[in-house]
Amino acid sequence: MAFRSTVPDNPFFPRPPMPDTLLQRRMLPTLLLLVAAASWGGNWVAARAVYLDVGEIVVLTSKR
Model pLDDT, residue 38 = 94
**How would you class 54 by CB atoms within 10 Å of its CB: exposed for 0-12, middle for 13-18, buried for 19 or more?**
exposed
Residues contacting residue 6 through CB under 8 Å, at least 6 positions apart: none
Model pLDDT, residue 52 = 81
Q: What's the pLDDT tens digit per position in 12-52?
A: 777 776 656 766 777 888 899 999 999 999 988 988 888 88
Q: How far apart are CA 31 and CA 21, in angstroms?
A: 16
Model pTM score: 0.47
E-assigned strand segments in 1-64: none
Q: Domain map of the chain by residue range?
A: 22-61
Q: Name the pLDDT band for 2 (thresholds 50, 70, 90).
A: low
pLDDT exceeds 80 at position 6: no
